Structure 1
């Protein structure tokens, strides 16, 4: 079962391993799972699966170019505007969310995103399972597993309301601040 391969993977991979040119993440569709050796909140347990994502997202009318390699690497080195995982982790770590560019996108700014990338390099570990239609697994995994960092389809999780409010507060504060860099 795919859940078992994500809950108790044979191997977890670090940012340093994933981000090398010939890294181990395949350019294929699938489901990825995030584990943390230290969590961004005392309310969350370390050393177990806390978040799952899929690549590509299901899009009925167009072809996605996303795959496991692109998505996992983006989570490790992208920004909060393009990664709900990074947005969640940054909010839990107390980083300041800011409007950037034209003011519509929100990230933690250059310094905050760099700090988040360093934190993830130290504490985040990832695993994955290839699957030709990962969207067919996503709902099942979120329903069956305790994944406190997933928000979509996860209202039943005990951490959902706290995380939703924390992210909403960060967005409200960001709208009150001048556009950053």
Structure 2
């Protein structure tokens, strides 16, 4: 898989490197419906998601977005919220779980740990990982069979949020001002 020196939790995420790189999310409990067969398993749980951080959005800032952000700023949070059956809403042009974002944060703090590997060009390592291991929560470039279901789940949630937002704007047009 990959060699990493440390795994971060929500509590110590601010100690992650301020560098570009690759990160792998481990979960001691898989989100509902997520298959773990064939996934890399360690003492931290199952590796279910891999992502990259750039020089502009470093490993530390990406971990902050995932642990404490919102559905618009983190595809991992969007995916987890959908698996936790939280209602997605559209607020302006942003998608959010609203006051339920805290439920995603709490779930991640309780069940998620993340390993970071600093790399100046993280895209190649991310691609290699997606081709050589099973990460069911990734979509782009992921050969895992569950990627299609994740894509459909997120698309359905986005569509429902946009439809609800359009309905609310027709009922309360002053809310858009």
TM-score (norm 1): 0.82
- 1:49 is aligned, of 38, 43, 47, to 47
Pairing 1:52-63 to 2, within 5 Å after superposition: 52-56=50-54
- 2:82 is aligned, of 83, 87, 91, to 91
Return the offset for 1:11: 4.0
Q: Which residue of 2 aligns with 1:4?
A: 2
Q: Which residue of 2 aligns with 1:16?
A: 11
Q: Which residue of 1 aligns with 2:159?
A: 172
What secondary structure sits across from 2:7 in the alignment?
coil
Instruction: Please give the alpha-carbon distance, in whole angstroms, between the structure 2 residues aligned to 1:177 and 1:85.
Output: 23
Runs of 4 or more above 4 Å deviation: none
- Deviations 1:153-179, CA, capped at 9 Å, x for gaps: 11x211112111111111111112136
How many residues of Structure 1 are paired with residues of Structure 2 in the alignment? Answer: 160
Q: Which has the higher helix share?
A: 2
Instruction: Please give the alpha-carbon distance, in whole angstroms, between the structure 1 residues aligned to 2:56 and 2:6.
Output: 26
Which stretch has the larger CA shift, 41-50 or 131-140? Answer: 41-50
Instruction: Please give the alpha-carbon distance, in whole angstroms, between the structure 2 residues aligned to 1:10 and 1:132.
Output: 17
Q: Which residue of 2 aligns with 1:39?
A: 30
**Is the Cα contact below 8 Å between 2:20 and 2:122 reproduced in 1?**
yes
Instruction: Please give the alpha-carbon distance, in whole angstroms, between the structure 1 residues aligned to 2:56 and 2:5.
Output: 28
**Is the Cα contact below 8 Å between 2:25 and 2:114 reproduced in 1?**
yes
Return the offset for 1:24: 2.2
- 1:27 is aligned, of 11, 14, 18, to 18
Return the index of the structure with the highest Cα Rg: 2
TM-score (norm 2): 0.84
Pairing 1:19-168 to 2, within 5 Å after superposition: 23-45=14-36, 47-56=45-54, 64-100=55-91, 102=92, 104-109=93-98, 111-154=99-142, 156-168=143-155
